[in-house]
Chains A and B, each alone.
Chain A
Amino acid sequence: MDRTVKKPLTRRLIQLYSALLYNAHLKGFTEGKIYTGNIKSVCVPGLNCYSCPGAIAACPLGSLQNAVSASADRPAFYIVGILLLFALLLGRVVCGFLCPFGLIQELLHKIPTKKLKKSKLTRKLSYTKYAILAVFVFLIPAYFAFRRLPLPGFCKYICPAGTLEGAVLLMLHPNNGDLRAMAGSLFVWKFAVLIAMLVACVFIFRAFCRFVCPLGALYGLMSRLALIGVKVDKGNCTDCGACVRVCGMDIASVGDHECVHCGDCIDICPTKAITFSAGKIVLRGSAIKERGHLNEKQ
Chain B
Amino acid sequence: MRKKNLIFALLIIVSVGFIVLGIVNGGALDVLAKAVRICSECIGIG
Binding site for B on A (CB under 8 A): 34-38, 40-43, 49-51, 55, 57-59, 62-63, 66-67, 70, 74-82, 84-85, 88, 151-152, 155-156, 159, 162-163, 166-167, 170-171, 179, 182-184, 186-187, 189-191, 225, 227, 293, 295
Contact = CB atoms under 8 A, between A and B. Distances in A.
Contact of A85 (B12, B28, B46): B12
Contacts of A85: 12, 15-16, 19
A74 B21 contact: no
A198 to B, nearest CB: 15
Most buried by B among A62, A78, A80: A78
A78 B27 contact: yes
A184 B44 CA distance: 8
Nearest to A182: B45
Most buried by A among B22, B26, B32, B43: B43
A51 B18 contact: no
B42 to A, nearest CB: 4
Nearest to A41: B32
Given A162-B42, A187-B44, A191-B44, A79 B22 contact: yes
Given A40-B31, A50-B42, A187-B44, A34 B26 contact: no
Given A49-B39, A81-B22, A183 B31 contact: no
Given A76-B27, A82-B15, A88-B15, 9 more contacts: A58-B31, A62-B35, A63-B31, A70-B30, A78-B18, A156-B46, A166-B39, A166-B42, A184-B45
Contacts of B17: 81
